[in-house]
Structure 1
Amino acid sequence: MAGFASLLVASAGLRVASLNLCTDELLLALAEPGQIVSVTHLAQQPSEYADWKQARRYPKNDGSLLSVVGQHPELVLTMGGGARDQAHIARKLGIRVIDLPYPQAMSDMEAAIAKVAAAVGHPAKGQRLNARIEALKRTRPATLPDTIWLGGGGRSVASTGLAAEWMALAGFRQRPLVGDRVTLEQLLVSPPTILLRSDYRAGQYSGEQRWMMHPLAKGTNKSRTIPTDGRAWTCMGPPMIDEVNGLRRFAP
């Protein structure tokens, strides 16, 4: 027991960098401020991360191992694989790398939270965060109306998996869509009960945002349009807990 306590104390003093926006979210939620040596530049952009002011308290990196070597991290967090060369270099430099898979389900997200919390020496923080998710599960609304999550250009989400699970916790049921996309014609002919409209990069000049400006993409008189903070849906990590609590105010 004493050895485990010593290991936690040692981990709690680790210098940690994150090379991915999704691991930025985990690191900022689970580490102590003195441990964080770097987060990605994306976390510091208001258009990408809701708590960008917190992220700007720390040095930034460009998502590469080389950009953080000079900051002397002992642990580097990243996600999604494709970084074998970086992992090899990190081992040569004595830097531990945790490369998390992109979560496909809520259980994956809970596992990632627990793993990062343990790695940075704060398992209790991970337990508290996962307890908040469990509380959402226990209080999930009983009625889940037909819903389409709508992003730029008609992008949507799968009817199963992590996004759909977060939606269900908020009180919405994602409609199955071919290719996880919806057309303006579908919104006209078969409108959902709820149009959960992402505001990610709203107002930005792009083809996707021009599509979102079409009247049908804003909802019809047969749908109720509810806005959601699209930034939280990029990684669907810890920020989704507050987003779900906020969306529950609009659920039937």
Structure 2
Amino acid sequence: MLYLGIGTSVEAAPSRVVSVNMCTDELLLLLARPEQITSVTHLAQDRHEFPFWRTGRRYPANDGSVVSVAGHRPDLILTMGGVARDRARLAERIGAEVVAIPFPQTLGDVENSVRTVAEALGREARGRQIIALLRHFTAERPDNPREVTFLSDSGYSFAESSLGAEWLTLAGARVPDGQGVRVTAETLLLDPPETVIRSDYRRGQTSRGQYWPGFRFIEGVPDTRIVYTDGRRWTCSGPSLLPEIRRLRAVLAR
């Protein structure tokens, strides 16, 4: 993680926190006290994109830039990935600390993200609660995971070593050996899976994914079970997945 533009006391918890990335929106809304939150991105207010959109709409929206939050005079800016030099300089100019979280690659990285943001917010106890829940799910993962094919828009899936595949193990599922990040329609035709976990991300809207040949085929296979999942929670693959993992675990166990 990267800290830039220190403008607050390490003893005092920040009182005007903004997030300029949808994935840190998730962490902010899960970890902060409501009165600490000053602004979230416009994506956090979009019901098609974000699972907590109702909560996100309680706060002013920004467009993901430091310029768009400068008027709020934040003392802490949360983001994910790198921080461009001009953004860092602007944050320093307005007296804000920037905490940039790396994109998580493992469940351990998810823990680290929660811990880092919780510490920055002065909400360590809340962070420990979420980490403890994640570790409980990990300790109680089913011993004999069911092989499933996860399908997102246009047939995109999870490779064996991905964060998404790690989350699936907590639900009692595993991706097929040697599967890459995209499943072809030909693969489904030759070897139809017993279970498909299909993302419902923007399912109600017209998109090319809905007309991907693989979906048309697999929905006609009588021996294939299709389980829908809230695709918005998989976008960041952060702690908002915990209740969805609990639900999937129960569904797959039946």
Structure 1 residue 220 displacement after superposition: 2.1
Correspondence for 2:5: none
Correspondence for 1:215: 216
Correspondence for 2:75: 74
**Pair 1:172-2:173 in alignment:** yes
Correspondence for 2:115: 114
- Structure 1-normalised TM-score? 0.92
Identity across matched positions, percent:
45
Q: Is contact 2:73-2:94 (8 Å) kept?
A: no
Q: Pairwise mapping of residues 78-157 of structure 1 onto structure 2 (< 5 A)?
A: 78-157=79-158
Q: Structure 2: which amino acid aligns with 1:79?
A: M
Q: Structure 2: which amino acid aligns with 1:38?
A: S
Correspondence for 2:195: 194
Q: Structure 2: which amino acid aligns with 1:98?
A: V
Q: Structure 1: which amino acid aligns with 2:106?
A: A
- Cα separation, 1, equivalents of 2:41 and 2:117: 17
Correspondence for 2:3: none
Q: Structure 2: which amino acid aligns with 1:245?
A: R
**Pair 1:227-2:228 in alignment:** yes
Correspondence for 2:43: 42
Q: Structure 1: which amino acid aligns with 2:138?
A: K
**SS class of match (1:250):** helix
Structure 1 residue 175 displacement after superposition: 2.0
Correspondence for 1:64: 65
Correspondence for 1:249: 250
Most deviating of 102-111 and 140-149 = 140-149
Q: Give a deviation string over 1:13-54, Cα, whole Å, max 9, x none.
A: 421000000000000000001110000000100001111101
Correspondence for 2:207: 206
Structure 1 residue 210 displacement after superposition: 2.0
- Cα separation, 2, equivalents of 1:71 and 1:165: 38
**What is the number of equivalent residue pairs in this alignment?**
245
Structure 1 residue 212 displacement after superposition: 7.1
Q: Is contact 1:211-1:217 (8 Å) kept?
A: no
- Cα separation, 2, equivalents of 1:138 and 1:240: 16
* RMSD after superposition: 1.7
Mind listing any 5+ residue stretches in structure 1 that lack a counterpart? 1-5
Q: Give a deviation string over 1:174-196, Cα, whole Å, max 9, x none.
A: 12455411112211211222201
- Structure 2-normalised TM-score? 0.91
- Cα separation, 1, equivalents of 2:177 and 2:76: 40
Structure 1 residue 230 displacement after superposition: 0.3
Mind listing any 5+ residue stretches in structure 2 that lack a counterpart? 1-8
Structure 1 residue 134 displacement after superposition: 0.7
Structure 1 residue 221 displacement after superposition: 2.4
